Amino acid sequence: MKILVRNLERTVTETELLELFKQYGTVDTCTLVLDAATGKSKGFGFVEMPHGREAVKAIKGLNTLRLHGTGIRVKQVEDKPEA
């Protein structure tokens, strides 16, 4: 399951994000979206977890969690319909 993590403080690292999700189970990928020009975080990222049950627990457990003083938003990425 692909998960969108928004409202991240710009100082949050990919490693911190990975460690948060690893508490809930297996993580395939963890990517923080960076600004191409500055290399700094854009304040959101994506996490992929192979097991749906673990992913749902992570979403419920981490949504609105305060990280670096900011409440993060965590939700499943909705697949866009094929055009």
pLDDT of residue 36: 94
Across the range 45-51, mean pLDDT stands at 98
Across the range 42-60, mean pLDDT stands at 98
Nearest residue to 39 via CA among 6, 72, 13: 13
Q: Reply yes or no on domain 2-77 having CATH 3.30.70.330.
A: yes
Count CB atoms within 10 A of the CB of residue 72. 22
Q: Per-domain residue ranges for the chain?
A: 2-77
Confidence of residue 82 (pLDDT cuts 50, 70, 90): low
pLDDT in tens, 7-30: 999 999 999 999 999 999 999 999
pLDDT surpassing 70 at residue 40: yes
Confidence of residue 79 (pLDDT cuts 50, 70, 90): confident
Distances (CA, A) of 1 to 5, 20, 32, 71: 13, 16, 17, 22
